[in-house]
Structure 1
Amino acid sequence: METMAAPMEVTVSQLSCSTTFSTSTMNDTTRQSSLTAVDVRFCLIGTELRHHTQLHNALQKMKMPYVFSDTGQEYNIEDDQAETVFVMAEFEGEIFDALSSNSRHILGTTAILQSAATDEHLPCVTRPLFCRHMDKLVICFTGFLDKAEIKRLVVLVHNMAGSIRKDYGPRVTHLVANSSNSEKYRVAVSLGTPIMTKEWIQATWDNRHKQECGATSEEMLKYKMLPFFGCTLGFVGFTQDDQRHMEEITQTQGGNIETIANDSCTHIVVDENTVAEQVLDYPSKIKVVKQEWFWASIQMDARADEILYTFKMPSTPASLHGTPTLMFSGSKSSRKRRLKDNIAALSSNTDHMESPNMPAQKRRSSFTESASCMSISASSILDCSQTPDSSMALAPEPCTPMEMETPKKPAVPAQPLSKRHMTAMELLQTEINYVKILGTIINVFKEPLETEQTGGPILAQEEIKTIFNRIPDIYAVHCRLRNDVQALIDDYSEEKSIGQVFLKHSADMGKAYPSFVNFFELAKQTVVQCDKQKPRFHAFLKIGQSKPECGRQSLTELLIRPVQRLPSMILLLSDLSKRTTESHPDFRYLKEGLEALKKVTEQINEDKRKTEGHTQMFDIMNEIEGVPAHLLSAHRHFITKIDVSEVGKADSFGEKGICITMFLFSDTLEICKKRVKHSNMKTSQKTFKHIELLNLSYIRRVLDIHETDECHNAFALLCKPPMDVLERTDRLYMFAVSGDENCKTEWLKILCQYMANATCKTDAENFLCKISPEDLELSKSDFDVSRKNKAVRAAKRATKKVSRTFSFNRTPRRGSIQKAVNNVTSTFSPMVSGEGMSPQQFGKMGARLAGTMTLKALSPLARRTPLTPRHLQKSLTMGPSASKKL
């Protein structure tokens, strides 16, 4: 034996100290030691632990005495006065088996290091403890048939401070499953307990030497059991694109794909909207489920219960199997009546065209009624469910707390409906349909996302707020509007005022709509982004889209309805106004209601323009290098921009001819240099570089220069001198617009308008002054200089690009030169006929052609000594001047 300091013999009494071994356990399944206050000694076994400095420091920090041993057998004895804790680098081998068979306290190095780092007592456990990666975890197993395998996993859990439960209970923190068919799996899904695979335990054990890598760390989530683990899926009734998409998701979620004819299929996913007429005859062991089961499993992040989503073929009424012989029987007049009745039935069953109070149809004759009992009636054709409970499906849905109960239908009017009355009922019907759509958005999408979901929240609260911004407020406004219009139509008379109803709710619409419409693109972008990045949200959207109330429309398609509603209401009110005489009391209110709705739309457009202006300001600032931070201001918004170049002999913001971009804001003008994009340009480099931020109040005049043959699209700015300059002479800057004359005219008009706003003047036209080029001493040479400078800069850029591509300053290597000579020789040699020439002569001719730098040397009249490869190599090495001498 030896201590850490120096090898020496140490007795038990010498190791005695006041330090005691804690009897606190890691969990409720670990047996407590019978020793409550005894001296403790640590025995570090093996050569590896003799040099484990970190372990030594940890024991010294906890004031624990320790000794070294090769096997620990000298301490593997009963001692009533001292307790020995054996520390091992690995839990395997004969030494470990011998110590564990005697129920000795065995610890791993990681357990000691973790306790020292957290200043916690070492646990007194009778089982070997290597690390605390599964501390406070209670694990239950299901789906394992191999007893040896489950025994090995249980030992690993105990070695990592975890505990085991045979039966699933509320204290179980994790379920380790090898199958998803057990009752434990179903209970764990319903309670939201994490379900892991056996690889999770093995991966945690493989990281036993890492102190920070616990079983619940982020990197261990990849061992969570996927929803379609052990499932083989087949698909029926889907389009080719939808099936390909679902097959890709199946494979990423742990499942397999097979054809429906394969016996290995465990589930057949059916699109219930397209396979209603097909007969599905599959073995009872195969579960036939709706597509909602597929998406619900992904949303729950676990396999959903098939009982809730079992697909059942709809029962077919016996009347469908009969032959409609009587449909074409009877007299000609009776067939006409039946046709008329069928058309009326089709009209009354069309949701979008139905009118709430249309007159009832006339009662059929006894012959018609008897015939309809023996044939296919119009209602049976329209009833796509064809189930005995179809009458229940057609019953009205219960109203939500926001919705008032719809009054009963009044008596059918004796006289025909007027055009005004019919237009009012059409307005009511569109309002009813719109309220249903808003209710669908809230009930199917918004509220489920806000409630607690199995597997945790699908979206963050900020994302939910961004997507459904002001939808509840819009829904509440239109519920009240619908109820008022409904009450008016139920007790309709020509003297009733519909315009007053819309005028009453226009103020609430003005509060609810602008915020939603302005940020609709952001909401749409959030939906698309979350749909791509979050599989559970993607599955949630698919489930909602498959529900009947959504009509197979996606969430983004439903969210655009509020954007479209106000324009459609304006059109309907305009139509109603046209069908109302000017002497009618409601004519004035209709006009006022129309004006109120138009003001709401104008307010929306104005707010949207301001919002887009602020958004554009952020984008502009991100594209300009060196832009002043104070350009971004709440009172400032972006107006427009223009590309110009400086001309003339006046003052200049930069070099003549450079590309300049002017960004016009509400009170200032940002002047930037526009950079030219290159293929080797860094992607992080910004498009513009800041030159000057010019306040609009500093511009005295805007000079519109007349068009001449030499002067095109030119204008000038006469500006006050900067405050920090002693010379108080005004500055003149002249520019040429990179566009047509109309572009320049529109730009100058807008600039003068905002100059007038900045200086609080009403005469914007006085800022603009027309002037001839001669008055500013502008000539063709001024424009030519700008073009010349621009061409010179372009040539310099091209030269640099060529220099980077072809490094002329480098000296070629000898091997590269010889290879080039051989390539040129082989290239030009086929041009010379080789007939009647010896191999030596042919080689000389090839060498001559290889050394020829122009086609002139190919002529027999050219008197020039051919260059050999040696001469060519020398000329390329010495440079152009030396090659001329050669």
Structure 2
Amino acid sequence: MEEVDSFENNVPLEKPMECSDIDEDSEKIDAPPDVRICLVGGAATDESIQEAAKTFGVPIESTSDASEWVESPQYSTVFVLEEFSGRIFDTLKERGHRILGPTALKELALEKSPLPDNVRPQYSLAMKGVVACFTGFRKKEELAQLLAYVHHMGGSIRKDVGSKTTHLIASAVGGEKYQYASLFRLPIMSKEWVLNSWAMRTQVGYSATNFSAGDRLKPFHGTRVCFMGFPEAERKHMAEVLVENGGTPTDIEDPACSHIVVDESTTNTAPNELRSKANIVKAEWFWSSVQNEACVNEKDHQFQESVGRLTPRVSLGSASTPGSIRGRKRKRLRTAAARMLGSGPLTPTSPPLEPLKRRSSITDSSLLSCSGSFLDAPSHNELEETEAECTESPKKNLSARHQVFLEFLQTESNYVEILKTIMTLFKVPLEEMLDGEDQLLNATELRIIFGNLPPIYHAHCKMLESLRQASQTWTEEVSVGQIFLQYASDFEKAYPPFVNFFDTTREEIKKCDIAKPRFHAFLKARQTRPECGRQSLTELLIRPVQRLPSISLLLGDILKHTNKNNPDHNALEKALAAIREVMTHINEDKRKTEGQMALFDIFNVIVGCPPHLVSSHRTFIEKCEVMELSEGLSGRGDHLVLFLFSDVIEICKKRSKVFNSIKSPNTTVSSKLANQGKPYKHIKLMPLATIRKVIDIKETDDCHNVFALMCRSTQDLKEKLYSFTITDEEVDKLNWIRTLCRHTANNAYRADCDSFMATIDASLLDIETSDVGLGTLGKAFKFATRTRIKVGRALSFNKTPSKLKRAMSTMMSPFGSTTNLTPATQLAQMRLASCTNINELANASPPPPQYVAPMSVQPTRRSKHSSLSVASLRRL
């Protein structure tokens, strides 16, 4: 769109300085010593205005229409008006009097600044320090009004942009001034910025420099863009981004189409039916404009220029058919034809023919990366350099060992180029933006994404240089294995941090890509570069993960073709052992890292989890869902989850979905919000050192997947027995028990883990899984009972039961001993409700008859306590 560079061409102005007020800014008036402030109209009755006027220490006059002061000497009176329009304002301005708005008077008073010494009316100081330049406005009245607003808010105007210009106010994208502002990162504002600032003119202290994103001119404002050759999903995405940035999507037949964005990977030539005024640009222009928040110069991204660099009207080449391959083929055919004809060049414009070179046995298919992409394939220039290097040595009868070495050299060169692309196209530009206002990522995000890559890049650059030197002086005695061994220690240090935290890196890229539109545009723009091969940053960053296995295969191939008498044979074996050790080290570190990450994840889903569960020496092993059969932890029939760590077991209870938020009356709202959504509640943190036996209960018709833990801590005087049945279908009971025994033995520094395992019959512990309330009726009864207790407690006037009531409820519990009716005797003979004491188990003789207390109306339950015989105890 054509821009207007001169305000004189648009607005009839009496003074040339109004298009550029640099002379007016520097002009100072000679104010007389007897200056007065005259409050006009409503300003005369406003107490805040009167108080501000008093701070200047000059006489203050009040008038309704300023008629008696219009003829006063010039500059001697400073008039304060509430509105900068109407007859009074026009008259005072024509006579050259100084005019202030109430806001400017108050702001000058707060800053303790003197009265202004120029005749430009100032309503406020919202644009104080702003030096603006206008471009693209065609309506004279609109431009004149915007000029006046900027002046009234204390801003200055310049005709041309320059080093002192602070803002460009534009009505459309494009033009020399626009490109200058875009290049030097000047804020490009829309007319709404001036209008919105003027609407805030009565607010004291408002600054127009603190603008919002909506005040900027959007990068595609006024453009009509057609997308050509893109997949449907990508086209819709680009159209949405276009609308968000002020543009309008259109089709190729639209005569008002201003830009055509072409996907050069799928589009061979520009359409012939286009209008000449439409800019045909590559996709990089679109995404670079979004990233820079300004429409970049179309000349730098012209589609026709990119086609011209290749063969006109031909395919740009895809990932499966690189253009460099066709170029080499044509060159070889031309050279062969010239030799057969025994003549010189085929055409007068052809370059002199070079001697025919024999191609290396390394085919293009062998240069494919692990992902099957030709991104690892060398560029045309690199292939010519490699061929030139290879021709320095005799090409005839290349040994198989030499051929595999050349493949190793080529893939290493391609890999280093990929790392260099990541460093130069992504890392370095993002780091350069850190110090400016246009940063895309902060330092922490950059460190997470790229922090572990430079050591890998530097190590491979050094190894590539050594491989190239070996290629130039190649003999069969060159030690390839020794070259790798020189850098094996560097690889061992560099690769584990990158590989172990690659998932974190990938998630960070994904998070920033979604949350930061400008970073998303940066990635899209870089992805269109030929150096990236249309692969994303995440796809490029996975190459280091794949490289070590690839090197291992190549070294293995070289070893296969190396004679055992060759000194390099032993070095290659050591190199293979070293690279396998590095990969083993990486896998071990990755396992530890994943265990640490799992530990944090587990901690975050448990209500009331002890903070010391998170420890650097602790790793997560396995999870098992169970149902408690004893009464020692949560309650018989409760569903629990056992998280096995290297030294402890975290025992949790599955929380009810219905009563997830019901707490006691004194529970705070903040704790409810913090615990909302967590599926588990902490019950007990059991150290593996307290486990004496892991008991495998034999399978019967009434007992399935049952095991027990016999524990005793240093604070306990007696052993405790906890029994469970495994409800997780994916967990095998025997494997779980063996895993538990192995880690218990490791924690006790004992080699024989079988000593911690015992097997007994279910009848000895009186355990049956069938009598646990698993049916619908049992669950409903249990649910109703707990509901009654929780609701009753929530509605109770007594927040906490008294000690007497708690003591009596304990003594009169129907689940204790009821042999005697006296509370003292009953309490003395009661068993602990939370554990089973193995040392007090009865022998095989039948128990004495039990009598129910006559006052009890509670239903009786089957005994849940174990009754192991002495013989069974010895077997443990």
How does the TM-score come out when normalised to structure 1?
Answer: 0.73
1:555 match: 537
From 460, 466, 471, give the equivalent of 2:442: 460
How many Å apart are 1:26 and its aligned residue? 13
Q: Which amino acid aligns with 1:29?
A: D
Q: Which amino acid aligns with 2:229?
A: G
The correspondence of residues 184-203 of structure 1 with structure 2, limited to 5 A, is 184-203=177-196
Aligned sequence identity (%): 38
From 224, 239, 251, give the equivalent of 1:232: 224
2:557 match: 575
CA 1:364–1:26 in structure 2 vs 1: closer, same or farther (change >3 Å)? closer
From 598, 612, 620, give the equivalent of 1:638: 620
1:822 match: none
1:73 match: 67
Instruction: Judge which range, 310-319 or 757-766, deviates more.
Output: 310-319
The correspondence of residues 684-703 of structure 1 with structure 2, limited to 5 A, is 684-703=676-695
Q: Which amino acid aligns with 1:765?
A: D
Q: Which amino acid aligns with 1:231?
A: T
- Give the secondary-structure state (helix, strand or coil) at the position aligned to 2:303: coil
Measured against aligned partners, the alpha-carbon deviations of 1:216-270 in whole angstroms (never above 9, x if no partner) come to 2243x31211122222222333333333332222222212233223221222223
Q: Does 1:674 align with 2:670?
A: no
How many Å apart are 1:550 and its aligned residue? 1.6
The correspondence of residues 590-629 of structure 1 with structure 2, limited to 5 A, is 590-629=572-611
Do the aligned partners of 2:131 and 2:155 also contact (CA within 8 Å) in 1? yes
1:872 match: none
1:767 match: 756
Q: Does 1:263 align with 2:263?
A: no
- Give the secondary-structure state (helix, strand or coil) at the position aligned to 1:144: coil
From 412, 419, 444, give the equivalent of 2:425: 444
- Give the secondary-structure state (helix, strand or coil) at the position aligned to 2:162: coil
Q: Which amino acid aligns with 2:177?
A: K
1:35 match: 31
- Give the secondary-structure state (helix, strand or coil) at the position aligned to 1:250: helix
- Give the secondary-structure state (helix, strand or coil) at the position aligned to 1:718: strand
How many Å apart are 1:79 and its aligned residue? 6.3
The correspondence of residues 344-743 of structure 1 with structure 2, limited to 5 A, is 366-367=339-340, 373=346, 394-396=380-382, 408-409=389-390, 411-413=392-394, 416-452=397-433, 456-648=438-630, 651-678=631-658, 684-721=676-713, 723=715, 728-740=717-729, 743=732
How many Å apart are 1:680 and its aligned residue? 9.2
d(CA) in 1 for partners of 2:177 and 2:152?
Answer: 25
d(CA) in 2 for partners of 1:27 and 1:688?
Answer: 74
d(CA) in 2 for partners of 1:198 and 1:230?
Answer: 14
Do the aligned partners of 2:193 and 2:211 also contact (CA within 8 Å) in 1? no
Q: Does 1:182 align with 2:175?
A: yes
CA 1:679–1:420 in structure 2 vs 1: closer, same or farther (change >3 Å)? farther
How many Å apart are 1:438 and its aligned residue? 1.2
How many Å apart are 1:559 and its aligned residue? 0.8
- Give the secondary-structure state (helix, strand or coil) at the position aligned to 1:478: helix
2:299 match: 307
How many Å apart are 1:194 and its aligned residue? 0.9
d(CA) in 2 for partners of 1:596 and 1:141?
Answer: 67
2:371 match: none
Q: Does 1:171 align with 2:160?
A: no
d(CA) in 1 for partners of 2:139 and 2:322?
Answer: 66
1:126 match: 119
RMSD of Structure 2 on Structure 1 (CA):
4.2
Instruction: Judge which range, 596-605 or 281-290, deviates more.
Output: 281-290
Q: Which amino acid aligns with 1:109?
A: P
How many Å apart are 1:370 and its aligned residue? 6.9
d(CA) in 2 for partners of 1:194 and 1:248?
Answer: 24
Q: Does 1:285 align with 2:285?
A: no
d(CA) in 2 for partners of 1:460 and 1:745?
Answer: 50
- Give the secondary-structure state (helix, strand or coil) at the position aligned to 1:717: strand
Do the aligned partners of 1:647 and 1:782 also contact (CA within 8 Å) in 2? no
Show structure 2 runs of 5+ residues with no match: 1-20, 315-320, 358-362, 364-378, 662-672, 790-876
Measured against aligned partners, the alpha-carbon deviations of 1:433-483 in whole angstroms (never above 9, x if no partner) come to 211211221222222223359982333233222222232221211122222
How many Å apart are 1:56 and its aligned residue? 5.1
d(CA) in 2 for partners of 1:728 and 1:36?
Answer: 101
- Give the secondary-structure state (helix, strand or coil) at the position aligned to 2:489: helix
CA 1:181–1:26 in structure 2 vs 1: closer, same or farther (change >3 Å)? closer
CA 1:27–1:136 in structure 2 vs 1: closer, same or farther (change >3 Å)? farther
d(CA) in 1 for partners of 2:556 and 2:448?
Answer: 34
Q: Does 1:144 align with 2:125?
A: no
Q: Which amino acid aligns with 1:675?
A: R
- Give the secondary-structure state (helix, strand or coil) at the position aligned to 1:312: helix
d(CA) in 2 for partners of 1:295 and 1:785?
Answer: 60
d(CA) in 2 for partners of 1:166 and 1:349?
Answer: 51
CA 1:686–1:741 in structure 2 vs 1: closer, same or farther (change >3 Å)? closer
d(CA) in 2 for partners of 1:38 and 1:747?
Answer: 98
d(CA) in 2 for partners of 1:774 and 1:512?
Answer: 58
Measured against aligned partners, the alpha-carbon deviations of 1:167-200 in whole angstroms (never above 9, x if no partner) come to 2221110011123333222222222111111111
Q: Does 1:91 align with 2:87?
A: no
Instruction: Judge which range, 619-628 or 416-425, deviates more.
Output: 416-425
1:104 match: 97
Do the aligned partners of 2:126 and 2:201 also contact (CA within 8 Å) in 1? yes
d(CA) in 2 for partners of 1:448 and 1:455?
Answer: 14
How many Å apart are 1:410 and its aligned residue? 5.3
CA 1:320–1:278 in structure 2 vs 1: closer, same or farther (change >3 Å)? closer
Do the aligned partners of 1:471 and 1:516 also contact (CA within 8 Å) in 2? yes
Show structure 1 runs of 5+ residues with no match: 1-24, 322-345, 383-392, 400-404, 801-886
Q: Which amino acid aligns with 2:399?
A: S
Do the aligned partners of 2:225 and 2:250 also contact (CA within 8 Å) in 1? yes
Measured against aligned partners, the alpha-carbon deviations of 1:570-623 in whole angstroms (never above 9, x if no partner) come to 222223333335444333222221121111112212222222222222222221
Q: Which amino acid aligns with 2:657?
A: K
From 152, 157, 160, give the equivalent of 2:150: 157
Instruction: Judge which range, 585-594 or 107-116, deviates more.
Output: 107-116
Measured against aligned partners, the alpha-carbon deviations of 1:504-550 in whole angstroms (never above 9, x if no partner) come to 21110011111111221222222222223333322322222222222
CA 1:722–1:484 in structure 2 vs 1: closer, same or farther (change >3 Å)? same
d(CA) in 2 for partners of 1:319 and 1:289?
Answer: 16
Do the aligned partners of 1:407 and 1:490 also contact (CA within 8 Å) in 2? no
2:870 match: none
Instruction: Judge which range, 754-763 or 685-694, deviates more.
Output: 754-763
Q: Which amino acid aligns with 2:295?
A: R
Q: Which amino acid aligns with 2:742?
A: Q
Q: Which amino acid aligns with 2:542?
A: I
- Give the secondary-structure state (helix, strand or coil) at the position aligned to 1:132: coil
Do the aligned partners of 2:334 and 2:346 also contact (CA within 8 Å) in 1? no
d(CA) in 2 for partners of 1:640 and 1:317?
Answer: 58
